Amino acid sequence: MSAITATLYPCAHCKETGACSTGHNGLSCAVCVGEHTLKGEHYGLACGVCGGMGKAEPRTERINKRMAPILAYSMVILLLIAIGLAAYTNKHLSEILAFAGTVIGAITGHYFSRSET
């Protein structure tokens, strides 16, 4: 659960400059020219890989970010069910409450306290 924070890696395509100059003679490469729906030769176009930020986000991490809140929600629901069952059967209630309280606290603190950008 700790690998969800945004880790940006330096964009190798533009070498963190944010502008593509990987074509010949410092021109922007064909891929980035295409990204901007342009044709021909262009200098200093915003890097198509990182969007001109100089830093790129791993593709898998983007999926993780989308998946994480869903997983968090289902985790909370599962734990609530577990608490309900434990309260009903009166077995291991204190253990489950302590465990679920910690997990739910961590999840809500992590996902619902900060504004997502």
Q: Which residues bind Zn ion (CB under 5 A)?
A: 11, 13-14, 20, 22, 29, 32, 47, 49-50
CB of residue 58 to Zn ion, shortest distance in Å: 13
Residue 1 CB partners (closer than 8 Å, separation 6+): 106, 110
Residue among 11 and 100 whose Cβ is closer to Zn ion: 11
CB of residue 71 to Zn ion, shortest distance in Å: 30
Is the Cβ–Cβ distance between 100 and 84 less than 8 Å? no
Residue among 49 and 79 whose Cβ is closer to Zn ion: 49
Residue among 20 and 107 whose Cβ is closer to Zn ion: 20
Q: How many CB atoms lie within 10 A of CB 20?
A: 30
Name beta bridge partners: 45: 20
